[in-house]
């Protein structure tokens, strides 16, 4: 298990990647959400002093708010004085995941893509500057990777993230870019808005994106965007696996079935989630 210092570093990394684990002036509810984000995104339970250093809230206010979250079952306070996600959060998450219509629509298409490639298939949605993974079908020979259902990854260094950005309206991209912190996860990670924009232009032209070991060394993927007609919903689907199995030539071949999967999901979305008359 990581130390509390490692957990703090992880929380800082998540905030820099575009998650909401930074202070926001959104009133009491916003402050409570920041605390939940900090604790749930940490790799290990956090002590009060860890959260105090990250949350930028007065000690008394923070103690009171954490107490409320514990009372409501959203956080747990263990015998060692550390805060961890509560069981009520898990209940919320499982109910939300089970009833998510987009995930239910996509599920059979993800399964079909998995059968065709044998590798891990991801479904993600763009939220702010992060990709939130809604579903994941493990490959026949799974490898350890960061992506898990509910996890957030930066949009600028993931296949699904860059695919999603490629269909985002230009004005929205302009609003998003100033808030991006280009953390260099690997030697292949984008470190500037200019290089990212150049690749987004290429993705918009081809209709698919690659992750060339940009988020995790040794992990590659090919992804295609998914979007609603009004662009109120943007996400993507990908096939991911280890670089030693997935050559760039193979990923290029799989671009077509990944795009076809994305189109099938969008077609069914229009039928099942379109305007009700």
Show which of 43, 66, 92 is a domain's final residue: 92
Residues 108 and 170 in one domain: yes
Residues 78 and 104 in one domain: no
- The CATH number assigned to the domain holding 13 equals 1.10.10.10
Residues 122 and 217 in one domain: yes
Residues 140 and 245 in one domain: yes
DSSP letters, 82-149, are: EEEE-HHHHHHHHHHHHH-HHHHHHHHHHHHHHHHH-SEEEEEEEETTEEEEEEEE--SS----S--T
Residues 175 and 204 in one domain: yes
Tokens standing for 118?
Answer: 């044998």
- Kindly state the percentage of the chain with pLDDT values over 90: 55
| Amino acid 163: pLDDT | 97
| Amino acid 232: pLDDT | 79
Count of CA atoms in the C-beta half-sphere (13 A) of 125: 15
| Amino acid 239: pLDDT | 97
Q: What's the pLDDT tens digit per position in 137-187?
A: 998 887 777 767 778 899 999 999 999 999 998 889 999 999 888 999 999
In the chain, the number of structural domains is 2
Looking at the predicted structure, is the pLDDT value of residue 121 above 70?
A: yes
- Band of residue 14 on the pLDDT scale cut at 50, 70, 90: very low
Structural domain boundaries, residue 14: 4-92
The four Cα atoms 31, 152, 39, 36 give a dihedral, to 10 degrees, of 30
Residues 135 and 63 in one domain: no
- Band of residue 86 on the pLDDT scale cut at 50, 70, 90: confident
User: Is 189 a domain residue?
Assistant: yes
Q: What's the pLDDT tens digit per position in 176-206?
A: 999 888 999 999 999 999 999 999 999 999 9
Residues 116 and 243 in one domain: yes
Q: 120 pairs with which residues across the strands?
A: 240
The whole-number average pLDDT for the span 263-277 is: 78
Task: Return mean pLDDT, the chain.
Answer: 85
Report which of 35, 40, 41, 43 is spatially closest to residue 67, judged by C-alpha positions.
35
User: Parallel, antiparallel, or unpaired: how do β-strands 82-85 and 46-47 relate?
Assistant: antiparallel
- The CATH number assigned to the domain holding 214 equals 3.30.450.40
Show which of 73, 92, 111 is a domain's final residue: 92
| Amino acid 149: pLDDT | 79
Residues 50 and 116 in one domain: no
| Amino acid 97: pLDDT | 61
| Amino acid 205: pLDDT | 97
The whole-number average pLDDT for the span 226-241 is: 90
Report which of 261, 266, 203 is spatially closest to residue 230, judged by C-alpha positions.
266
Q: Which of the two residues, 178 and 230, has the higher pLDDT score? A: 178
Show which of 44, 73, 92 is a domain's final residue: 92
- Band of residue 99 on the pLDDT scale cut at 50, 70, 90: low
| Amino acid 11: pLDDT | 38
Residues 206 and 250 in one domain: yes
- Band of residue 216 on the pLDDT scale cut at 50, 70, 90: very high
Residues 123 and 173 in one domain: yes
Q: Which of the two residues, 85 and 156, has the higher pLDDT score? A: 156
């Amino acid at each position: 298990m990581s130390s509390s210092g490692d957990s703090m570093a992880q929380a800082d990394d998540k905030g820099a990647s575009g998650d909401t684990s930074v202070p926001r002036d959104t009133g009491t509810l916003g402050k409570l959400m920041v605390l939940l984000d900090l604790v749930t995104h940490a790799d290990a339970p956090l002590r009060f002093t860890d959260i105090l250093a990250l949350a930028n809230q007065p000690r008394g206010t923070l103690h009171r708010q954490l107490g409320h979250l514990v009372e409501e079952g959203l956080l747990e306070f263990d015998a060692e004085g550390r805060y961890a996600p509560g069981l009520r959060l898990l209940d919320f998450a499982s109910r939300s995941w089970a009833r998510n219509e987009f995930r239910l629509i996509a599920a059979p298409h993800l399964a079909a893509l998995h059968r065709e490639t044998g590798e891990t298939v991801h479904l993600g949605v763009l939220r702010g500057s992060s990709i939130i993974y809604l579903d994941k079908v493990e490959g026949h020979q799974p490898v350890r990777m960061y992506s898990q259902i509910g996890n957030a990854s930066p949009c600028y260094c993931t296949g699904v993230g860059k695919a999603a950005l490629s269909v985002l309206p230009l004005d929205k991209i302009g609003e998003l870019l100033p808030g991006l912190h280009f953390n260099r996860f690997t030697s292949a990670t984008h470190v500037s808005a200019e290089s990212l924009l150049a690749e987004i232009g290429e993705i918009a032209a081809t209709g698919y994106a690659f992750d060339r070991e940009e988020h995790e060394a040794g992990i590659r993927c090919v992804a295609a965007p998914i979007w609603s007609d009004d662009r109120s919903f943007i996400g993507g689907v990908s096939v991911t696996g280890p670089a030693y199995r997935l050559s760039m030539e193979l990923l290029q071949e799989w671009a077509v079935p990944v795009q076809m999967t994305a189109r099938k999901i969008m077609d069914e979305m229009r039928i099942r989630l379109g305007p009700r008359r």
